[in-house]
Amino acid sequence: MSILLETILKAVMFVVLALAGFAYTTWIERRLISRMQSRIGPNRVGPQGLLQPVAEGLKLIFKESITPAQADKFVYMLAPMLAVIPALALFAVIPISNHSFFNLAGGVDTAVLYVLAILGTAVYGIALAGWSSNNKYATLGGLRAAAQVISYELAMSLALVAVVLMAGSASMNVIIEKQLPGNILGWFIFRQPIAAALFAITALAELARSPFDLVEAEQELTAGYMTEYGGMKFALFFMSEYVKMIALSGLFTVFFLGGWSGPFVGDSWPLGLVYFSIKVLLCLMVMVWVRATLPRFRYDKLMAFGWKRLLPIALANVVITAALIAFGVPGYK
């Protein structure tokens, strides 16, 4: 029974961390993007605007909950939940420190596959939200999301195959251990740069973040699948997007940046937590930077890019990695 209790405790901790992270990721994004666009950004509520997420959460809770007249009421209500659950479930396999309390199931030997499975189911929330709203813009947004996620998941899986080949296991613990020895060059971002780039690009596409945010392209689709949502239901979609951002940053950290590893991490476990947070924060900032920099793709270009560029590159990368490992090239053992 104690293992049940321990798991529940850990799960609650991960959810709380993810939600706190969600609130402050919105703050980071808005402040940072303001800087990049020569604005100031929210700085009125609390010092440096730090209480802005709290204020907005309260505002959204007290908003009237509206359901469109012709909407499919049950699915309309269900969709935001279906969007949030997979986003939170991703944290189950992300070890955020070398202390076992901060590692829920990172040691299971199907962890990488679990990530791909959960990411595949994450699209239901968006697709069903678009459909159930009974709004043609929302439906189009939902359809775009479904097509985009299916297309880019292939390239992402193949990028991760290279990582699993390097580690010789699909367990997060082993993947981190294999990046530990010696110096920073052990990180997979240096030994698998193509896989890292592919994962970063496909992660942005899975998140439907700029430059892949055609799902919610304002000029064409108003707000896409979210058009008819308001109040807390809208907040849940927002939450799912940001929680997924944090989760994918965490996964990038685990796969390519050595996870919680860093100097002296063996001596005290809180250091692992600090290193992990710094790396995740860097990834989040790069995502904001990309959003401030790149314009949006055109839809046909997006599909062509996914299928005709990323997929062949990912396949070639797997073949080359496998050959390097088979021939025992140094660094690829």
Q: Which is nearer to other proteins, 149 or 284 (CB)?
A: 149
- What is each CA distance from 138 to 58, 125, 150, 214, in whole angstroms? 26, 12, 19, 12
Pick from 36, 39, 109, 309 the residue near other proteins by CB under 8 A: 109
Q: Is 128 in the site for other proteins (CB under 8 A)?
A: yes
d(CA 305, CA 159) in angstroms, rounded, equals: 15
**Dihedral angle, C-alpha 93, 96, 100, 106, nearest 10 °:** 20
For 104, the 3-state DSSP assignment is: coil
- Closest distance to other proteins from the beta carbon of 144 (Å): 10
21: contact with other proteins by CB under 8 A: no
Q: How far is the CB of 295 from other proteins (least distance, A)?
A: 27
In the complex with other proteins, which residue's Cβ is closer, 130 or 250?
130
Nearest approach in angstroms of CB 143 to other proteins is 6
CB of 34 to other proteins, least distance (A): 36
Q: Kindly tell me the number of DSSP H helices and DSSP E strands found in the chain.
A: 14, 0
* Cβ distance to other proteins smaller for residue 25 or 132: 132
For residue 286, which phi and psi values (nearest 5 degrees)?
A: -65, -40
Positions in 153-172 near other proteins (CB under 8 A): 153, 169-170
Phi, psi of 264 (to 5 degrees): 65, 20
Question: Which C-beta is closer to other proteins: that of 144 or that of 233?
Answer: 144
110 binds other proteins (CB under 8 A): yes
Which residue bears the tokens 């959960």?
A: 118
**Among 114, 190, 269, 307, which residue interacts with other proteins (rule: CB under 8 A)?**
114
User: C-alpha 55: how far from its chain's center?
Assistant: 25
What whole-number distance in Å separates Cα of residue 59 and Cα of residue 291? 26
Which residue, 123 or 271, has its beta carbon nearer to other proteins?
A: 123
Binding residue for other proteins, selected from 17, 51, 60, 75, defined by CB under 8 A = 75
Figure out which of the listed residues 19, 33, 50, 116 binds other proteins, where binding follows CB under 8 A. Answer: 116
Is residue 123 near other proteins by the rule CB under 8 A? yes
Size of the site for other proteins (CB under 8 A): 29
Structure-token pair, residue 240: 């799912």
Stretch that binds other proteins, among 6-14, 121-129, 208-216, 217-225 (CB under 8 A): 121-129
**Which among 55-63, 146-154, 213-221, 278-286 is the span making contact with other proteins, rule CB under 8 A?**
146-154
Among 46, 57, 120, 231, binds other proteins (CB under 8 A): 120
Residues 57-85, buried b or exposed e (16+ Cβ, 10 A)? beebeeeeeebbeebbeeebebbbebbbe
Which range binds other proteins by CB under 8 A, 137-145, 234-242, 245-253, 283-291?
137-145
Residue 260 and residue 191: Cα distance in Å, rounded? Answer: 18
DSSP conformational letter for 310: I
DSSP string spanning 51-83? THHHHHHHHHHTS-----TTS-HHHHHHHHHHH
Verify binding: residue 139, other proteins, rule CB under 8 A. Answer: yes
Applying CB under 8 A, the residues found at the interface with other proteins are 4, 75, 108-110, 113-114, 116-121, 123-124, 127-128, 130-131, 139, 142-143, 146-147, 149-150, 153, 169-170
